[in-house]
Amino acid sequence: MTTEGLSAYAEQAGLERVGARPKLRRYIVEAWRRRELAATLASYRIHAAMGQNRLGLVWIVLRPTLLALMFGTIFFVILPNSSRPDNFLPFLVVGVFVFEFFSASLGQGARSIINNQGLVRSLNFPRILMPMATVLQRVFEIIPVAITMMVIVALSGEPITWNWLLVPVVLAIMAVFNFGIALIFARLTVHLRDLTQVLPLLTRLMFYSTGIFYSIEAVLADRPDLLALARLNPVYDYIALVRAQIVTGNSQTMEMWIVAVAAALLCFIIGVIFFWRAEERYGRD
């Protein structure tokens, strides 16, 4: 029997080629059924990281705190008052803490396949669980980070209101966005390993262009076209929405919520499909 004949017979008998990409619906169902694997990997990595450092869990909140302190010291001196908000400390803290959630998800998610080739090649499971585990790790870590962020904001003199309860909602939407972006770059780095060298530069560019330590509205007040373009950046909207809930003087609009939700859903759908289409290649390229 020819190869074509064997393939036709196998298809009629319901047999599948080893390592073949399943249909999308079955792939998603199987990934959901094995979601505990992603959660276990995320938890294990957190405990492993804690064991490697003397301060353990403290580093999860200490890193963004030190970054905020460093940038606050530098930019408080060199930034003109016109682009620096009055409540600069909580403004900066929110920007740094929330952006770290995005940058860590992107950086580690992009390497989730190439850094775990042994696991990917030796076990049969939906490969989407690898970037999922990375983003879940960041979700677990953002809980103490967000608590620390809100404590610092409160100690800076910001009043605690009911709007603070919306911060987890914004971060949950952002987590969906981060997962979609991680899926896209996880596949791209499998095909283009050199992309891992470019990612830190792209992340840094976003950091300086997203209004972490300055007010985009103040800087682009005379350029409404650029301001409108900047507001279409989902990362900017997530940061702006968190600021609007807990830092006075920062407003939110329906457009921000629309961009935030639409970007999360769009990136998630595109990311899942884009990642799934290369399922057969992970561990082989």
Task: State yes or no: pLDDT of 132 exceeds 90.
Answer: yes
CA distance 282 to 176: 23
Within-domain flag for 12: no
Within-domain flag for 7: no
CA distance 219 to 245: 22
User: If pLDDT is split at 50, 70 and 90, which confidence band does 54 have?
Assistant: low
Q: Which residue range is the domain that position 138 belongs to?
A: 22-281
Within-domain flag for 233: yes
**Per the structure, how many domains does the chain have?**
1
pTM > 0.75: yes
75-109 tens-digit pLDDT:
666 655 655 677 888 888 899 899 999 999 998 98
Within-domain flag for 3: no
Total residue count of the chain as it appears in this document? 285
Within-domain flag for 15: no
Within-domain flag for 229: yes
CA dihedral 125, 131, 136, 137 (to 10 degrees): 110
180 burial class (0-12, 13-18, 19+ CB within 10 angstroms)?
buried
Residue pair 190/112 in contact by the 8 Å Cβ criterion: no
Q: What's the chain's Rg over C-alpha atoms? A: 22
Q: Which two tokens stand for residue 202?
A: 């792209």
Within-domain flag for 158: yes
Tell me how far apart the 2 most distant CA atoms of the chain are, in Å. 80
CA angle 8, 10, 12 (to 5 degrees): 70
216-232 tens-digit pLDDT:
877 777 878 877 888 88
DSSP character for 16? -
Within-domain flag for 273: yes
